[in-house]
Structure 1
Amino acid sequence: MSMKKINGKRLALVTIGQAPRVDITPDMMQGLDAEYDITEFGALDGLTKEEVARLAPKGGEECLVSRMTDGSEVVCSAAEIEKRLEHVFDKIDPEKFDAILMLCSGKLEAAVHSLPVFSPYDSLSAEIDERRAAKDVVGVISPHADQIGKMQAHFTAEDEARFASASPYAVDEFAKAGEKLKETDVIIMNCMGFDSAMAAKVEAAANVPTMTVRQLFMKHVGKSLMQKAPA
């Protein structure tokens, strides 16, 4: 995985839900220099729940799962989110920021800017590649069952991975997901909404080392910032 460098302290954080992400940002940034100037942007900022409901996936469209500012879960069409992200990126002035950090681990084609863009998807892909090279059986937890098919594309053989779903924003099903992934060597929780407490529940149920994509992402970003990243 190529490692871009961040030469400055002005960071734009972009969520596919609504900003600010009080469930992610404080935890994610705690291992970094407190002097970083953080501004958050959201693809769903300014929308009512009724307006967001109209962005729901239709007819088998790919979905993305995120969070409203009131803490509720929202499931949107990936295509609709991509459209809205284009407008979000237009608002990020390259003269006022030094880098963009995405708060979504999905592959987002609209996440393109003249500034360096850091994506959890790249961290996830790099970790999966390393685990496959080590012949580990990887367990992957996605926030929505409809996203499992897309995750399967990261693997070439059926016996390389096992899959489960559990939302970080709804009913607690972490132990249930962990039970499904007992026959693995490592579990990756693939959503930036998953935190260490959720990972601990999965690990206790599966008795398998469990990590979140948030941890993987900040490990890589920490290297780019040349700061100490969370373990």
Structure 2
Amino acid sequence: MSKIGLITIGQSPRDDVTRDLFSITGKGVEFVEKGALDGITMDEIENLKPEKEDFPLITRLRDGSSVVVGKRKIAPLIQSMIEEMENLRVKACALLCTEEFEVKSNILFLIPSKLIFNLITSLLSKGNLFVFVPMKEQMENAKRKWERTGLNVSVEVLNPYSSSQNIDKVKERVKGDLIVFDCIGYSLDLKSRIQEITGKPAILPRSILGMTIKEIL
């Protein structure tokens, strides 16, 4: 059975993610999970919150709650997790985050945002891209990031870790030829519900990761 490493910027295990991944890969894979926030206290997590010029990232803790951490502060922890995965001799490793980090890896390293970017540019040469992000503080950065596809980009907030949102109103907001969910927290179930409401094609990071992992097994 092939071992695939999964690195979350929060705490492992991410049962919510692996449940969706297994539905795509099947059971012929063993996921080895590590989290940047594993083994540290809530006070230490508090110190990882973004400061004024740092980029905020939302992630999930082991108890199901969510926290916000700073990209600059979390990056060294991601690099450490990659090095641990290399020592565990996994076949490949995947980042459970759609933000890009400047890291080094001696093994196959799957970065969802790069996989999605390449898929989008192969599907659309012109048109409108509609992007969901978890936080309003991420909207400007997401617009710049996805405009590199050469498409017209609209961005809206949809928190994957909140149960209080009324997604029935999404249809009124979605204006695009293709929807992108810009966070690993978005589930297959949420994608299906959004597609049913809007009738639009959509790209989900978990789906892309699952299909890529299945391909390289």
Give the TM-score normalised by the residue count of structure 2.
0.88
Cα deviation for residue 69 of structure 1 reads 0.4
Cα deviation for residue 143 of structure 1 reads 1.3
Q: 2:69 aligns with which of 58, 64, 76?
A: 76
Distance 1:194 1:174 in 2: 15
Name the % identity: 22
Which secondary structure does the structure 2 equivalent of 1:24 belong to?
Answer: helix
- Alignment root-mean-square deviation, CA: 2.3
Residue 48 in structure 1 maps to residue 41 in structure 2: yes
Which secondary structure does the structure 1 equivalent of 2:50 belong to?
Answer: coil
- Describe how 1:137-156 pairs up with structure 2 within 5 A: 137-153=128-144, 154-155=146-147
**Which stretch shows the higher mean deviation, 28-37 or 44-53?**
28-37
Letter in 2 for 1:24: V
- Describe how 1:20-169 pairs up with structure 2 within 5 A: 20-94=13-87, 96-110=89-103, 112-133=104-125, 135-153=126-144, 154-155=146-147, 160-169=152-161
Distance 1:24 1:75 in 2: 18
Distance 1:124 1:20 in 2: 24
Give unpaired runs (5+ residues) of structure 2.
none
Cα deviation for residue 94 of structure 1 reads 4.0
Give the TM-score normalised by the residue count of structure 1.
0.83
Distance 2:116 2:8 in 1: 17
Residue 223 in structure 1 maps to residue 189 in structure 2: no
Q: 1:28 to 1:71 in 2, by over 3 A?
A: same
Distance 1:187 1:136 in 2: 12
Q: 1:121 to 1:177 in 2, by over 3 A?
A: farther
Cα deviation for residue 27 of structure 1 reads 1.6
Give unpaired runs (5+ residues) of structure 1.
1-7, 226-231
Contact 2:195 2:201 in 1 (8 A): yes
Distance 1:195 1:96 in 2: 29
Paired residue total? 216
Higher helix share: 2
Residues 141-196 of structure 1: CA deviation (Å, up to 9, x unaligned): 01111112222122159971211111111244362772454321121111111112
